[in-house]
Amino acid sequence: MNAKEAQKMVKACLSKKRYTHTMNVRDAAVHLAEKYGADPDKAELAALLHDAVKERSREELLQILQNNAIMAQNAEKSPPPVWHGICAAILAQTEWGVTDPEIVSAIRCHTTGKAGMSKLDKIIYLSDMISAERDYPEVYELRRLAEEDLDKAVCTAVEKNIGWMRECGKSIDPLSLEALEDLKRGMQTREDTHE
Ligand SMILES: [Fe+2]
Ligand SMILES: [Fe+2]
């Protein structure tokens, strides 16, 4: 599936609101990919597909996880809000003909992050949080950081996400905690080598 086909598919299966979000994530992701030297075509396809199954029912998503147990890797133990990324990554490979592991990874971890995020993983994660329609108070700071420093922006974004989930008493996927620890470590190593 190419970007044009992906756009057509999500336009047909998502609400207007989520389709607009998807287009805004696409625009942000292509911009950040060009800015930070990632592949803009991969960023575009990953962004277009990242929320493609977000409007499917919980039962349907669970069914996708159960039907693809090896790919799902016990994902049903993760909090249900993260299932849509994992399911989109599974369907990308099994139904939509997306074989590029970088794209699949970026779709899969767009809600949680993970340890060892690639540049594309970071770009999709961040684009999802700073897309043009978002207007929570901290988004302006994140957009500014995104223009300055990708690593710092993603680290801040993951940290904020974990903070919000804690405030709301939601369960936090261990992958997010691993992502934060890893990103912080990366930032520290970078600072140390620049001293
Ligand atoms: Fe999502
Ligand atoms: Fe999204």
pLDDT at 190: 87
> What count of Cα atoms within 13 Å lies in the side-chain half-sphere of residue 93?
20
Domain tally, the chain: 1
Distance 98 CA to ligand 1 centre (A): 18
pLDDT bucket at 194, cuts 50 / 70 / 90: confident
Q: Distance (Å, rounded) from C-alpha 94 to C-alpha 129? A: 27
Collect residues with CB below 5 Å from ion ligand 1: 51
Buried b (16+ CB within 10 A) or exposed e, 55-85: ebeeeebbebbeebeebbeebeebeeebbbb
pLDDT at 95: 97
How far is residue 49's CA from residue 54's CA, in Å, rounded to a whole number? 10
Domain that holds residue 39: 3-194
| 58-89 pLDDT, tens digit each | 999 999 999 999 999 988 888 899 999 999 99
| Averaged pLDDT, 39-61 | 98
| 129 CA → ligand 1 middle, Å | 9
Domain of residue 85, CATH code: 1.10.3210.10
For residue 191, what pLDDT is reported?
Answer: 86
Look at residue 195 and tell me whether its pLDDT is greater than 90. Answer: no
Q: Which of 37, 38, 52, 65 is nearest to 3 (CA)?
A: 52
- Write out the residues surrounding ion ligand 2, Cβ under 5 A: 51, 128
Model confidence over 131-159: pLDDT tens digits?
Answer: 999 999 999 999 999 999 999 999 999 99
pLDDT confidence of 175, banded at 50, 70, 90? very high
- Is 56 a residue whose pLDDT tops 90? yes
* Centroid of ligand 1 to alpha carbon of 130 (angstroms): 13
Output the CA 54–ligand 1 centroid distance in Å: 7
